[in-house]
Amino acid sequence: MASLSLRIDLGPHRIGPGKIELLERIDAAGSISAAGRAMSMSYRRAWELVEEMNGLFAGPLVSARTGGRQGGGTALTPLGHAVVASYRAIEQAATAATRQQLAELEAELAPLPTAAE
């Protein structure tokens, strides 16, 4: 099935499916390193992307939680949750707006060869 992949240019920076997935995984795991591992990404690369996104908006999207009995970790800030929600809403609206054209493109694809061919 045809699908749409969305990247949003914000000045010289952009956000897209990879950065949004990283934010969602940080939110789920409470850890940049765990989120990076789940995406086959080094901690350094995940941290660089978080730093880039934190510097792009009016406030940070990801914040550190201090240690203690539960240990440290990271969490999305309210702004981080808002950015993810906005991106997903834009993605849904764009997909809905292009559904007909995607179906038309998909209908024009050459058939895939079968195993017997």
Residues for the chain: how many in total?
A: 117
pLDDT means per 10 residues in the chain (117 residues)?
90 94 96 95 95 94 76 89 97 94 92 75
Domain boundaries, the chain: 8-107
pTM of the model: 0.85
CA distance 92 to 4: 9
CA distance 102 to 96: 10
Please give the structure tokens belonging to residue 26: 């940080």
- Amino acid letter, residue 53: M
Domain 8-107: state its class: mainly alpha
Q: Which helix (H) or strand (E) holds 96?
A: helix 78-107
Q: Which helix (H) or strand (E) holds 83?
A: helix 78-107
